[in-house]
Structure 1
């Protein structure tokens, strides 16, 4: 992964699919700890004690588009637990963050040709949502068994306003697609039910949902309040094909010229490419989680952090 990823911070690519910091970096900032190190960049096992990021670009709860699954990420973490590098005593004082799901629905919609069909109330879609939430819940139980008690879980971002969907209207409006709306609402509903149950059933569990759906809906609709211009338009797009959202960061093998074009001010864009937020968007969203009631389930993120620290 090369330019333009990482162009805003730290000035070079770091594996983050953004121009700079992403959500986990702002969570770390709120906790007063360094940004977690990507697991593949660890120089030695002991570095994981400073915080470690097991995320993979393109990951899902299922294997979605064939990328590394959440379960595999849990296995990577478990290897540190088994080696006693990360102990239960250490993890009880730590915070885990889980945020994924869009790739699962995107792969499912692509496979079934659902994206632009009125299939929202199908039992098949509901069954898919249940399986995805079950996968998240299973991973939460595993994290609890490793020693984690404090876990932040994000629900789905607003798929109907993501550029890979709004491109159909030339980025002029969010989609009215009922399938995407239904998938988001049923996922969020099932996730909240499951988290409520796990908070009751797992000893010492302190799980918090951050409402990614509401937060991104808010900045898509009210972006100018936060300095965003044309919030539905991505910053990085293909030069020749409006629908090629994989072009960002790619280079022509023959001419070595970029196959993408960048906006002049990524700090004024909500989304970097077809779906991944910019640093500015992540900062805005986490400010909402941290301080504004209603963007989390219950306590604000700052209040939640203060509570478990006490």
Structure 2
């Protein structure tokens, strides 16, 4: 029991639950890793600290504008973008995203979506996120770019850095980069929203194990290529979202317990995974934003 308690305490220390702590952790890495903390806009491209963004609607800056999907999975019409940009940008928000605030604080330009036409200068980073995306390829398949597709797009950008800067400097730039992830919500919501029977084929531990397993593969691949600084947004209580509360007739607006349970299991597994990766991988650093602690 004592060892277990110590392990839980260490795990809690490894997860940064405060939004502001999470936020400034990023800014510290982006600024401090680059040129002694000076604004990297004043530096040559070789000294930039790229910001790479993976995930779903929480971070999608407009990639779904450029894929063949439904209007439900796009945000290129009013009132999206109303309060800040004054026009729809493809962000699923009336203003900016978490990644936009991080970029601003780091004195970096907003990070464009990978699929934006004409966007080929990746020095500051790339946004690969896609509304509806999941860690599983089957999640809203055909309507979003799943996590593996996002990784494949990242490989293209990684090759671009090596081509532009040379192999050694390209790898050094990748190692200075910051990687932000928000993924998993759609994997647990889509079976209920699409009347899928996939959850009938797996028990809870097997299903969330597949989601965490795919995310682990992507982290491992990025680390193998030189990535060292990671941050993650875990899952809110998915079963309590308005769209999930109304799924079951006769539920009287109560939270959908099945989705709520899966999200909770995912969050525990993600915390454990990151704690273990930090011990296993030399130089691996991470920050974890806990939705459920900070949105109450």
Quickly name the TM-score band, shorter chain normalised. 0.5 to 0.7
Aligned with residue 79 of structure 1, among 137, 156, 174: 156
After TM superposition, list the pairs within 5 Å mapping 1:121-270 onto structure 2: 124-167=203-246, 175-216=254-295, 218=296
**After TM superposition, what 4+ stretches of structure 1 lie above 6 angstroms from structure 2?**
none
- Normalising to structure 1: TM-score of the pair? 0.61
C-alpha deviations, 1:3-33, integer Å up to 9, x for none? 1111112111111111111121122234332
Separation in 1 of the partners of 2:226 and 2:274? Answer: 17
C-alpha deviations, 1:56-82, integer Å up to 9, x for none? 111111120112110110110111212
- Tell me, yes or no, if the aligned pair for 2:114 and 2:126 is still in contact at 8 Å: yes
Report the CA distance between 1:51 and its aligned residue. Answer: 2.1
Separation in 1 of the partners of 2:233 and 2:253? Answer: 21
Partner of 1:50: 124
Partner of 1:91: 174
82-91 or 11-20: bigger deviation:
82-91
- Tell me, yes or no, if the aligned pair for 2:133 and 2:145 is still in contact at 8 Å: yes
- Tell me, yes or no, if the aligned pair for 1:25 and 1:36 is still in contact at 8 Å: yes
Q: Which has the higher contact order (CA 8 A, sep 6+)?
A: 2
Partner of 2:196: 111
* Long gaps (5+) in structure 1: 219-310
C-alpha deviations, 1:234-272, integer Å up to 9, x for none? xxxxxxxxxxxxxxxxxxxxxxxxxxxxxxxxxxxxxxx
After TM superposition, list the pairs within 5 Å mapping 1:268-287 onto structure 2: none
SS of 1:191's partner is helix
- Normalising to structure 2: TM-score of the pair? 0.64
C-alpha deviations, 1:106-141, integer Å up to 9, x for none? 123331397xxxx9xx96122110110111111111
SS of 1:183's partner is helix
Separation in 2 of the partners of 1:201 and 1:213? Answer: 28
Aligned with residue 111 of structure 2, among 36, 47, 52: 36
Separation in 2 of the partners of 1:163 and 1:156? Answer: 15
- From the superposition, tell whether residues 32 and 61 of structure 1 become closer, same or farther in structure 2 (CA, over 3 Å): same
C-alpha deviations, 1:167-201, integer Å up to 9, x for none? 579xxx97343212211111011111111111111
Separation in 2 of the partners of 1:174 and 1:136? Answer: 32
Separation in 2 of the partners of 1:209 and 1:174? Answer: 30
C-alpha deviations, 1:215-248, integer Å up to 9, x for none? 33x1xxxxxxxxxxxxxxxxxxxxxxxxxxxxxx
- From the superposition, tell whether residues 113 and 48 of structure 1 become closer, same or farther in structure 2 (CA, over 3 Å): closer
SS of 2:180's partner is strand
State the aligned residue count. Answer: 209
SS of 1:98's partner is strand
Report the CA distance between 1:38 and its aligned residue. Answer: 1.0
